[in-house]
Amino acid sequence: MKKESIAAKIMAQGELVLDAPLLIGSGGSDDSEDQKDIHVLRNKDGIPYIPGTSLAGVLRDFIEADDPEMGALLFGTPQESRSSERELQSAISLYDVKLSNADVIVRDGVSIDAVTGVAMAHHKFDYEAVDSGAHGILQAEITLRGIHAEAAEQLEGTLTRLRDRLLGGFYLGAHTTKGFGRVHLKDLTVDYYDFSQPKDVLAWLSPERGRAQQHDEYTGSTEKRVYAEQDFVVDADFALAHSLIVRDYDKTARDAAGSGDTSIASVMKTDSRGNYIIPGTSLKGVLRHRAGYILQKLGKDEKMVERMMGPSPETMKLMPNEAKMRSKFRVDEAVISQGVVSKEQSRNRIDRFTGGTIDTALFTTKPIWQKKKDEPVVHLHFGVTKAKAWEAGLTLLLLKDLWLGRTAVGGEKSIGRGTLEGLSAEISYQGRKWQLHKGTNVKEAEAKELQQFVTALVEEA
């Protein structure tokens, strides 16, 4: 068979589900009254969608991380690598995914000064995103030619790993290192049309596209995530040590407007389905600040934070475009769907000079509290892609400080809110897994393995 001859077709189709808000923007608005910095990408009918180009880029990166040759064989020769001797066309066609049940939300953010810990002037931004829960049909077509037969076994392994990645979850769009863009595929069907088989040829050519003789079905599950071997990944469950509040100013305004009650100063942030959430942007900001503190105490250069988590806004302004780098540190948005209750708590503002209460300064907040002690209510997922040993060590120390309640999340930390209590954790790196459980000592051999990463941090120049 000639290398360019078509030998088979693979048709894959499944439902793509958003597990976190998705940000694929179309830029700002021409409306002078619209102050949002980024708008959700929509088609001509105003429906949010995911371009096939975005899917292709993400999946290509995943395959090339393990095997660049397989990346070229499936997605074509990269532009910068093309030569007259070897140029390969893409074997994969990915179609746009139109999102159903899409709730467009507005998220806001502000840059925090790393030294003072307060908001920076003129660094407020607002952007649209498609909230979690939206879904759409993903369709992919793979054309297998004679050239693919030369690496059939290797190609099969790559496609199997790609399938598992789609089912277990991956990331799309912008701000993926700050909790956005996590998606997974469910109810996946795969048809392999072997054109050496007459029945498959007839099924392929039939108007209704019949089922291939080799037909497989898979059910997706985010509990079976697939990680690159060099990614240092932490999955941990926590209880709330006390109370927690991540302010939702927009929701406070809506509630106050609807009820006439303007005494509630802040409420806990929720998604469009009413679940309490800790945004990835908040979590990453907290962990970034704590990483700087750890490095300072170790006598290390705090710029190591930028090497792992990307440059700060101030540094970005001073850097040429070619020198800018993407954050290697990724954290997911945490959804708190059960096991907590929201209660109003009223307090008086205190005059810092006299120590007495300020007249007419009574205010109310609505933090959340845990119902049952030692019940996991907060699940955190974070880690470093293509992690070096010292980056694994720093991430391990971040987990330790969260576990022991030394790092607080959210607002009103000065009155004890936001501290967590570690219950269980799983750490994945270089094909190894380590388990941590509250009240159970880590095995001596495993402790030594983990200590090697911290030692690498201490010894890093």
Q: What is the pLDDT along the chain (461 residues), one digit of tens a residue?
A: 677 888 899 999 999 999 999 988 775 555 544 555 678 888 888 899 999 999 998 898 888 877 888 888 888 887 666 555 567 888 899 999 999 888 888 876 666 665 555 566 656 667 788 988 899 999 999 999 888 888 888 889 989 988 988 998 889 988 888 889 999 998 999 999 999 999 999 999 998 889 999 999 998 766 667 777 889 999 999 999 999 988 876 654 445 444 445 567 778 888 878 889 999 989 999 999 999 999 999 999 888 999 999 887 666 666 666 566 788 999 999 999 789 998 888 877 777 777 777 776 777 888 999 999 889 999 999 999 999 999 999 999 999 999 999 999 988 888 888 999 999 999 999 889 999 999 999 999 999 999 999 999 999 87
Q: In the chain, count H helices and then E strands.
A: 11, 23
Instruction: Find the helix or strand (DSSP H, E) in which 61 lies.
Output: helix 52-66
> C-alpha distances in angstroms, 261 versus 227, 246, 265, 269, 412?
48, 20, 10, 18, 21
The angle that helices 280-297 and 389-403 make with each other, rounded to 10 degrees, is 110
Condensed to tens digits (0 to 9), the pLDDT of residues 268-306 reads 888 878 889 999 989 999 999 999 999 999 999 888 999
Q: What is the CA radius of gyration of the chain?
A: 25
Locate the domains of the chain by residue range: 6-218, 232-325+338-459
Burial class (CB in 10 A: 0-12, 13-18, 19+), 274: exposed
User: What's the CA gap between 419 and 171, in Å, rounded?
Assistant: 28
The CA distances from residue 74 to 8, 90, 209, 226, in Å, are 14, 6, 23, 20
What pLDDT shows up at residue 235? 94
Instruction: Give the span between the Cα atoms of 112 and 93, in whole angstroms.
Output: 42
pLDDT number for residue 259: 47
Q: Is the dihedral of CA 404, 408, 410, 416 positive or negative?
A: positive
Rounded Cα distance, 41 and 49, in Å: 7
Interacting residues of 387 by C-beta distance below 8 A, sequence separation 6+: 230, 231, 232, 328, 395, 429
